[in-house]
Amino acid sequence: MIIALAGGVGGARMAHGLARILPPGQLSVVVNTADDFTHLGLHICPDPDTVMYTLAGLADPERGWGLEGETFNAMEALGKLGGENWFSLGDRDLATHMERTRRLTLGEPLSAIMADFCARLGVQHAVIPMSDGAIRTLVHTEEGDLPFQDYFVRHRCRPAVTGISFEGAGQAAPSPAMQDLMQSGKVRGVVICPSNPFLSIAPILAVPGVRSWLQGRQFPCIAISPLIGGKAVKGPAAKIMAEMQIDATPRGIALHYQGLIDGLVIDHEDSADASGQCLVTGTLMRSVADRERLAREALSYLESLRTV
């Protein structure tokens, strides 16, 4: 079993590459849920949905999130009524949030609902929310503390970040499927996707037991750097690193994952800054073929680092 840790669009694209070359049953994608929030009375799970839609071949190819060919009539109508429409929920995407909210209200765990949604949309690989508990990213900025989607979407990542915390992490537990994976002894390797290390991967590592499980691993673990030439392909990773006085280089990423990874996959553009165990390749995923090629290279690199 290979485990991919993922969040955001880069994570979903890498997970898709892995899903195209690994048979179902040999890949589990563990997804960040700390970006989840309640909005307009609905429970929104951006990262699990992005992975689900991407693996189902339904994601919008440009935005990376939401559904391809989506319309936003409900948001437009909401705006006319003076409602909050800063977070764009597509007309068809709304169905996912409505049905998820209904089932959560009846007491069904998030991980069971996502497993069922994935099966119904034809996703054959396991997509596992990191926790069924409420863990929420709070971004500490020079303009005050902001819930994640307020920082990310409403404020467009503009406020300077001074710190990030994951509210509720201490009281949460890994989801049952995540616990099974950690106890199974069947894990052959872990791939940390090119997701934002501070916003998408850190919350997964903050779930009690996950970091220590990785630290005590008997299997190799690699990360794919989300940076190319010191810039994030998408999102605020490089900006946040600068604001938190962390080098936006492979060295900065490797230091952040110290003790957790055996190797780092970096782009050709960053080869001059390579430090420690690295695989240098093209990490930009423009097409599905790119995702597949990067996944193949990452898996053979992972295999080459196996010691037992």
- Per CB under 6 A, residues contacting ligand FO1 are 7-9, 35, 46-47, 49-50, 65-66, 87-89, 93, 149, 152-153, 200
Nearer to ligand FO1, 187 or 192 (CB): 192
DSSP secondary structure, 16-54, as one string: HHHHHHSPTTSEEEEE--TT-EEETTEEE-HHHHHHHHH
Nearer to ligand FO1, 46 or 197 (CB): 46
For 79, how many CA atoms within 13 A lie in the half-sphere containing its CB? Answer: 10
Q: How far is the CB of 16 from ligand FO1 (least distance, A)?
A: 15
Q: How far is the CB of 297 from ligand FO1 (least distance, A)?
A: 24
* Cα–Cα distance for residue pair 21/27, rounded to 1 Å: 10
Nearer to ligand FO1, 93 or 273 (CB): 93
Nearer to ligand FO1, 50 or 175 (CB): 50
Let me know the angle formed at the C-alpha of 189 by 199 and 232, rounded to the nearest 5 degrees.
30
* β-strand partners of 29: 4, 127
Nearer to ligand FO1, 201 or 248 (CB): 201
Residues 6+ apart with CB under 8 A from 193: 4, 5, 6, 7, 10, 11, 14, 15, 201, 224
Q: How far is the CB of 89 from ligand FO1 (least distance, A)?
A: 5
Strands 27-31 and 126-129 turn out to be parallel
Q: How far is the CB of 85 from ligand FO1 (least distance, A)?
A: 9
Q: How far is the CB of 84 from ligand FO1 (least distance, A)?
A: 11
Burial of residue 126, with CB atoms counted within 10 A of its CB: 0-12 exposed, 13-18 middle, 19 or more buried: buried
Q: How far is the CB of 43 from ligand FO1 (least distance, A)?
A: 11
Torsions phi, psi of 98, nearest 5?
-65, -50
Nearer to ligand FO1, 153 or 242 (CB): 153
Q: Is 278 helix (H, G, I), strand (E, B) or coil?
A: strand
